[in-house]
Amino acid sequence: MLFLRAVNSVTEFSPAKLNLFLAVTGRRADGYHDLVSVAAPLDFGDELSATRTGTGFTLTCNDPTVPTDESNLVLKAARAFAVATGWKNGANFKLTKRIPIGAGLGGGSSNAVAALRALNRLSGGALSEAQLAEIAGALGSDCPLFLQRAPAIMRGRGERIAPLPATAAARVRGRRVLLFKPGFGISTAWAYGRMASSSAKAPADQQETYWPVAQAEARLAAWLQGNAPVEELLANNMEAVAFGKYLALPVLRAKLQREFGIAARMSGSGSACFAVLPDDFSAAPLSAAIRAAWGPPVFAQEARLL
């Protein structure tokens, strides 16, 4: 293993992500869900600083709504790192939060991986990338994605990661997107639970249904093998779950399609949505329409796919 020089203070960028394609295909015996997804990190995100201390881990955050106790994935990641490496030092973490909570943008998972990377640098590289990936997978389904820092295909419960082929990644990287989120979030646990309950109990015409694996893989393969832009890949079968309860989402999406010709999608389990923008498209009128529809609590941010 190649060891790095240990340092006393580091700062890690903690990117948001978008699920450009998300097909939830069924519930597993362990309670998780299987999925097929294409996800990409953004050049927008949080920042996590870590300073070595003698012992123990602490966390502060600029956002008072973010818990800074042991429930935060940053501290869970730190504990897991210490157990895996036997590292005896501690660290003070400072999280500058920009990614909204309850958005489906992967903020908590990204923060956890940033903590692992920060501690690995503080320790002089105690863990290999493979070892970091193993810890990340145990922390959460989205976590291994953030070790890639590139567009990737996710399978299983999200822990099976494969890089997007180079020709396909070239159709993703650098594309402009507008992120927007209403003043409310959506619980990931609620969304997956609602999908499972609906698929088990509701009449077929009222289900928020899983996609068959073959259907999901065929759609992904067709896009990978062609040369269509990323706009033709976009899909998310969790939208039916969220849109059935939170009507502000489908109403605004229809408005943007009607007035701007923009096909917006939801990321993950929501509530954040996004639109892929042509380079010559002005985002200002679109942002204004979103703010007018959803009011002052709205979050809107332009970014690019990495």
**Residues forming the active site:** 17, 142
Do 152 and 161 form a contact (C-beta atoms < 8 A)?
Answer: yes
Residue 157 half-sphere exposure toward CB, CA atoms < 13 A: 15
Closest to 276 measured CA to CA, from 20, 99, 63, 5: 20
Question: DSSP class of residue 20?
Answer: E
Q: Please state, in angstroms and rounded to a whole number, the distance separating the CA atoms of residues 196 and 216.
A: 18
Start-end of H helices in 140-212: 145-148, 166-169, 188-201
At 76, the amino acid letter reads K
Do 181 and 290 form a contact (C-beta atoms < 8 A)?
Answer: no
Question: C-alpha 115: how far from its chain's center?
Answer: 16
- Sign of the four-CA dihedral 156, 305, 300, 98: positive
User: Which conformational region is residue 102 in: left (phi greater than 0), alpha (psi within -120 to 50 degrees), or beta?
Assistant: left
- Which residues, in sequence order, are CB contacts of 40 under 8 Å at separation 6+? 17, 18, 20, 150, 151, 152, 172, 173, 305, 306
DSSP, collapsed to helix, strand or coil, labels residue 261 as coil
